[in-house]
Amino acid sequence: MRDTKHLEKHSNKLAENKKEKNLFRNLRREVEAGAHGTLDYTIKEGVNKNKIADDKILKSKK
């Protein structure tokens, strides 16, 4: 009797962990790159004010 309780408890614990890991893998969502202006920098002063600092603007500065 005592052995079966421990085996059942361990088996249930393993099944629960497996289910939790599976849910975590499947329900994970990707973040949106550049959401809310986090990817590009906006120039605040000068000739290129309010433009996004991309390769075109930055190459002319170098």
As to burial, measured by CB atoms within 10 angstroms (0-12 exposed, 13-18 middle, 19+ buried), residue 51 is middle
pLDDT tens, residue order, the chain (62 aa):
678 999 999 999 999 999 999 988 888 777 766 666 556 777 888 887 888 777 666 665 55
DSSP state of 36: G
pTM exceeding the 0.75 threshold for the entire prediction = no
User: Quick one: pLDDT at residue 36?
Assistant: 65
Angstrom distance (rounded) from CA 37 to CA 35:
6
User: Quick one: pLDDT at residue 12?
Assistant: 96
